[in-house]
Structure 1
Amino acid sequence: MGTVVVAAVLVCVVGLILKGMHKDKKNGRSSCGGDCSSCGGRCHR
């Protein structure tokens, strides 16, 4: 039973993180910071 509770909490936390990342991307904000040299090649400009 404890494993199920921990798994449910982890799923909720990951879901909230993904929701926040999606919201930030929708609003034009990203973790890249606009500096493509420090982005590791993932910059989409």
Structure 2
Amino acid sequence: MGTLFVGAIVVLIVAAIIRSMIKDKKAGKSIQCGVGCEHCGGHCNHNCH
């Protein structure tokens, strides 16, 4: 029973991280830099310019 509880918590944490990464990507933030494209100078991803 404890294994299922811990497993469920781990799944929820991973899902929250993935959701945050997708949200940041849609907002134009780079996963690598963690800042918006206006700050990266084009080296984070190809969509900065």
TM-score, normalising length: structure 2: 0.66
Q: Distance in 2 between matches of 1:17 and 1:11?
A: 10
Alignment of 1:1-16 (within 5 A): 1-16=1-16
* Root-mean-square deviation (Å): 1.7
Percent identity over the alignment is 41
Structure 1 stretches lacking a partner, 5+ long: 37-42
Letter in 1 for 2:27: N
Pair 1:22-2:22 in alignment: yes
**1:40 matched residue in structure 2:** none
What is the number of equivalent residue pairs in this alignment?
Answer: 39
Runs of 4+ in 1 over 2 A off after TM superposition: 31-36
